[in-house]
């Protein structure tokens, strides 16, 4: 067993890229894997990361990591392909579980910060190597470097067989998402806007509690375009019983499937309604005149 | 063998959702299945159902059901996730075949009508259970409830092991698509607009025959935007020999791959040309002055 | 072994279509394959070929072919489905490799030119059969003809068992992409615009050399919208050190992952910047006043 990183054992190869599906890029990854590891199960996490958006890719990997079984996690969002940025493979112990560590124990991708958040979820980087660069083509490391490396790791080759070791401390990292709070207020970056228009925030319920807003039934959202009350709900459809003045959809705040706070709408896109996008900073604060125990529009809607 | 529903035996897990592919939702389903049933073949039917569109999802499942081998069919279009709507698993005998029943014999998804049309194709619901709801997260039952249930059913667990039984009669159903006809006319809802712009109608060739239009070489389509002659064709490219006045594309009526009538264009989108969408009602009637045996524009185009 | 075409042996079934992913078409292909060949690995190359675009599909298959392992290659872009165009299966020896021929040795699809470019890469067509047409439905040969044929070939059935032989010379071919050159200039068609907006040209580095531009550090691109200097680079991010006048992004010319010349931008879409699309013809010539050894904007940008 190389270093302290656990053996991958049986498992899958998990892929996340910004390649999209309109071209054959993803097919080329699968074909490259299959040539070296014909029996490897391959799971496409998503290939819909916006082009070149390393931060969005990193956050998606962080969301995925706790839900994956053993195997090799490949991330490719790589605007610097072909330059001095290093192709790397990382070893992690896996995330703690009742029956011992689990989850992927090998990560493969560019050294541009994409992988480190997920590696943290998986116990941190305990071993790292630099993958040799291709000599012929330099623009498709997914096909030429990362997929073959993942196939070899899945098949049981030790990390150290793939390239010279590098100091994990030297790996490029990304800034943390914005989160700040005080008495009665909380500021958080929008981490993600999903297909349904839900706005995932860089804050969790405990952050809201720390700001003294944990028991508020309604909070006020301040955003670049104005202010908006948010009803605390447990499910999207609970918002059906509320109706904002002038027929505008009621918006809610719930704890999403990743345990993060999210601004949501029932059968609609909160992102479109508010005109907001990933990366923007929002502020939540207490709603004056709307004590926690009272739902502001419930009366008229029921 | 639980009840009268056949055993799933070897087969696949078939997935249909409105999750899209831009996020990692579908990847999470695959990862959840793989943790419990690492060897299960998984077939993605489509994840492109419009968000929240239970009716569109239901119709896609009906189209798919006759063409699937044995296994477990999972449908997730679920705007009510987290509310009182029940997560369910259903048992069906499979559809009749020359060598005995075939097709999926287990269906998994929300009790909102999504599954019942496909269940009907597969012989009807002969057994049903309510799946326990997750305690921690309530917004991603696909990952937390439906995928694990499908994996367990695929692995051979009996339906009754997954939850308490429920009366199939209590399952939520959807209204049937609109179809009406009389002497010389037929009204039908647009069931589906596909990627190519073909408009699938809630009518089959026998419905056209019942209306006395079975032998018409041309029928007249009445739609909200006007009238349009449709040439009966057997293949898209047959329309090349016709040309509407002023160079407008000729439109046709054919029997599509699901046995439904469809309004089509050759290498073009009938939906765009006519400005029509799923859910609209169209009327077909005899074309005056265009006897069945005469193709109205064939003369000038040849 | 039928004819001179090699046996497919173990391998995968590779799929490329214009079906898109919004509908269940691709799922139906997978389901049809799985019923006849439950264990066949299936690789989706892409289903994002523009609707009806046989030329785009053909070029994508040519790009894919050199990178595939053994198996069966299925291509479906088929506006003539249901007409006199023939469904075919082709046998190829595979492309030359150090350890003998490799790559897919069976190709399946419509006889409309889609497959022939890839067949050429795979050693040429040495055997061909016409697949029987379906009797019931005529609009979904992917599900009813091509997927079943691919499954049977993957499972080891000889090509001759699938239909009557046809003369490979009778197969429909497509015109070659445009490429012309003279002393100091080169004209080439845009073969492909990928998701990132890179413009792949129908020219390779040796064509540039033949035109006497092989050592030019900058070439001039003439296109319908004007002129544009292109810096020869090895990787996208090298363009960061250049800045065009007035802040316009610098564009580059590199050898892409298929060995073709491509017009590219760093973290941006060259296609959008230039307003160009696949099929257009571009001209490259020497840049006056920009000798090869000098980078025109490097001075001011560093």
Q: What is the average pLDDT value for chain B, to the nearest integer? A: 90
- C255 and chain A in contact, CB less than 8 A: yes
Question: Does any domain span residue B115?
Answer: yes
pLDDT value at residue A8: 40
CATH number at residue A211: 2.40.30.90
3-state DSSP of B82-96: CCCCCEEEEECCCEC
Percent of chain A whose predicted confidence (pLDDT) is above 70:
90
Same domain as C90, residue C48? yes
How many angstroms separate the CA atoms of A22 and A6, rounded? Answer: 37
Q: Does C277 touch chain A (CB under 8 A)?
A: no
Task: Please give the ipTM for the structure prediction.
Answer: 0.91
- CA nearest A80: which of A48, A115, A54? A54
Q: In the listed set C125, C152, C170, which residue is the last one of a domain according to the structure?
A: C170
Confidence (pTM): 0.93
Please give the order of strands across the beta sheet that includes C12-17.
C42-46, C12-17, C71-76, C106-110, C87-91, C127-130
Please give the helix or strand (H or E) that residue C175 lies within, else none: none
B143 interfacial to chain A (CB closer than 8 Å): yes
Taking CA atoms, B192 is separated from A105, B120, B277, in Å, by 44, 19, 8
Contact A257, A234 (CB under 8 A): no
Residue A148 C-alpha, separation from nearest chain C C-alpha, in angstroms = 12
Q: pLDDT-based confidence at C1, cuts 50/70/90?
A: very low
Closest CA to B250 of B218, B226, B280, B277: B218
Name the closest residue on chain A to residue C256, using Cα atoms. Answer: A139
Whole-angstrom CA distances from C260 to C32, C66, C132, C255 are 36, 14, 38, 5
The more confidently predicted of residues C197 and C99 is C197
Q: Cα(C5)–Cα(C51) distance, rounded to whole angstroms?
A: 32
pLDDT at residue number B6? 40
**Measured torsion, CA atoms of residues B40, B44, B50, B56, in degrees rounded to the nearest 10:** -90
Q: What residues pair up with C187 in beta bridges, in sequence order? A: C180, C283
Q: Quote the mean pLDDT of chain C.
A: 90
Residue C147 and residue C188 in one domain: no
In B, which residues are within 8 Å of C24 by CB distance?
Answer: 16, 45-46, 60, 63-64
pLDDT of residue A265: 96
Q: In the 8-state DSSP scheme, what is residue B141?
A: H
**Is residue A68 domain-shared with residue A185, that is, in the same domain?**
no
In this structure, is residue A3 part of a structural domain? Answer: no
pLDDT at A116 > cutoff 80: yes
Same domain, B161 and B220: no
pLDDT over 60 (residue A2): no
Percent of chain C whose predicted confidence (pLDDT) is above 90: 80
Q: Rounded to an integer, what distance in angstroms lies between the CA atom of residue A229 and that of residue A208? A: 15
Q: Is the pLDDT of residue A300 over 50?
A: no
In-domain check, residue A5: no
CB contact under 8 A, A47 and B83: no
Q: Can you give the pLDDT at residue C289?
A: 61
Pull the structure tokens for residue A281.
């900073």
Model confidence at A289, in pLDDT bands (50, 70, 90)? low
Task: Judge if A201 and A238 occupy the same domain.
Answer: yes
C94, two tokens:
């595979």
How many angstroms separate the CA atoms of C298 and C302, rounded?
6
Write out the two tokens for C179: 């490429």
Shared domain for A99 and A228, answered yes or no, is no
Tens-digit pLDDT profile for residues A37-88: 998 999 999 999 999 999 999 999 999 999 999 999 999 999 988 888 999 9
The rounded percent of chain A whose pLDDT value lies above 90 is 80
One domain for residues B141 and B38: yes
CA atoms of C149 and C136, how far apart (whole Å): 17
Would you say residue A268 lies in a domain? yes
* DSSP state at residue B74: E
Q: What is the pLDDT of residue A294?
A: 37
Partners of residue B219 on adjacent β-strands: B230, B286
Closest CA in chain B for residue A255:
B137
Residue with tokens 């589906």: B192
For residue C150, tell me if it sits in a domain: yes
Residue A297 has pLDDT above 50, yes or no: no
The secondary structure of A184-216, three-state, reads: CEEEEEEEEECCCCCEEECCCHHHHHHCCCCCC
In this complex, which of B41, B192, B234 lies closest to C138 when CB atoms are compared? B234
Q: Let me know whether B151 and B105 are in one domain.
A: yes
| A142/chain C closest Cα distance in angstroms | 11
Determine the Cα–Cα distance for residues C199 and C269; give it in Å rounded to an integer.
9
Please check the confidence at residue A160 and state whether its pLDDT lies above 60: yes
The pLDDT assigned to C297 comes to 44
CA–CA separation, C92 vs B72, rounded Å? 38
Contact A138, C234 (CB under 8 A): yes
Give φ, ψ of C45 to 5 degrees. Answer: -70, -60
Residues of B in contact with A47 (CB under 8 A): 21
* pLDDT of the residue at C3: 35
Evaluate whether residue B102 is within a structural domain. Answer: yes
Q: At what angle do helices B25-36 and B147-154 cross, to 10 degrees?
A: 30
Quote the domain boundaries for residue B58. Answer: 12-170
Q: Do A43 and B34 touch (CB under 8 A)?
A: yes
Partner B contacted by C192 (CB < 8 A): no
pLDDT of residue A246: 66
CA distance C196 to A144: 19
CATH number for the domain including C122?
3.40.50.10790
Provide the token pair at C180: 């012309």
Residue among B177, B139, B147 at smallest CA distance from B56: B177
Cα angle, residue B208 at apex, residues B270 and B115 outer, rounded to 5°: 70
CB atoms within 10 A of CB C256: 22
A288 falls in which pLDDT band (50, 70, 90)? confident
Inter-chain contact B139–A60, Cβ cutoff 8 Å?
no
C46 in a structural domain: yes
Q: How far apart are CA C83 and CA C85, in angstroms?
A: 6
Per the model's pLDDT, the better-predicted residue between B97 and C164 turns out to be C164
- Rg of chain A's alpha carbons, rounded to an integer? 22
Residues B271, B279: contact at Cβ < 8 Å? no
C117 and C186 co-located in one domain: no
Instruction: Point out the domain boundary residue: B144, B170, B196.
Output: B170
Q: If 0-12 CB within 10 Å is exposed, 13-18 middle and 19+ buried, where does residue B34 land?
A: buried
Same domain assignment for residues C24 and C164: yes
Q: Domain end: B170, B196, B213, which one?
A: B170
The two tokens of residue B9 are 């035996």
Question: Which pLDDT tens digit goes with each residue over C174-224?
Answer: 999 999 999 999 999 999 999 999 999 999 999 999 999 998 899 999 999
Looking at the structure of chain A, the number of domains it has is 2
Please choose, from the candidates B105, B88, B87, the residue with its C-alpha nearest in 3D space to the C-alpha of residue B96: B105
- pLDDT band at residue C241, thresholds of 50, 70 and 90? confident
Cβ–Cβ gap C256/A32 under 8 Å: no
Is C132 a member of any domain? yes
* Domain match, A65 and A183 both: no
Are C213 and C109 members of one domain? Answer: no
Instruction: Let me know the angle formed at the C-alpha of C268 by C265 and C270, rounded to the nearest 5 degrees.
Output: 50
Q: Are A258 and A200 in contact (CB under 8 A)?
A: yes
Positions of chain B with pLDDT lower than 50, given as ranges: 1-9, 291-302
Q: Are B83 and A235 inside 8 Å of each other by CB?
A: yes
A193 — pLDDT class (breaks 50, 70, 90) = very high
Mean pLDDT of C22-26: 98
Residues of A in contact with C77 (CB under 8 A): none
How far is C16 from A30, CA to CA, in rounded Å? 13
Q: Is C139 on the interface with B (CB under 8 A)?
A: yes
> What is the per-residue pLDDT for B3?
35
**Cβ of residue A294 closer than 8 Å to a chain B Cβ:** no
């Amino acid at each position: 067993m190389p270093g302290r990183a656990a053996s991958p054992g049986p498992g899958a190869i998990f892929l996340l890229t910004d390649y999209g599906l309109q071209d054959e890029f993803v097919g080329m990854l699968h074909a490259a894997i299959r040539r070296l590891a014909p029996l490897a199960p391959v799971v496409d996490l998503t290939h819909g990361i916006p082009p070149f958006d390393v931060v969005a890719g990193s956050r998606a990997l962080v969301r995925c990591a706790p839900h994956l079984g053993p195997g090799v996690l490949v991330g490719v969002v790589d605007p610097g392909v072909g330059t001095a940025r290093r192709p790397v493979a990382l070893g992690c112990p896996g995330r703690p579980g009742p029956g011992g560590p689990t989850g992927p124990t090998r990560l493969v991708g560019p050294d541009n910060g994409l992988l480190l958040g997920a590696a943290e979820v998986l116990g941190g980087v305990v071993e790292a190597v630099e993958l040799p660069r291709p000599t012929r083509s330099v623009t498709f490391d997914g096909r030429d470097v990362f997929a073959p490396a993942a196939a070899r790791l899945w098949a049981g080759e030790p990390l150290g067989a793939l390239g010279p070791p590098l100091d994990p401390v030297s790996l490029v990292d990304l800034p943390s998402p914005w989160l700040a709070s005080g008495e009665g207020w909380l500021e958080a970056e929008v981490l993600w806007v999903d297909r349904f228009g839900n706005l995932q925030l860089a804050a969790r319920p405990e952050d809201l509690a720390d700001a003294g807003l944990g028991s508020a039934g309604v909070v006020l959202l301040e955003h670049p375009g104005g202010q908006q009350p948010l009803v605390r709900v447990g499910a999207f459809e609970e918002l059906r019983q509320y109706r904002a003045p002038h027929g505008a959809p009621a918006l809610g705040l719930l704890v999403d499937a990743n345990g993060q706070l999210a601004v949501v709408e029932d059968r609609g896109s909160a992102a479109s309604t508010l005109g907001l996008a990933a990366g923007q900073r929002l502020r939540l604060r207490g709603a004056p005149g709307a004590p926690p125990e009272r739902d502001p529009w419930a009366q008229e809607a029921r």
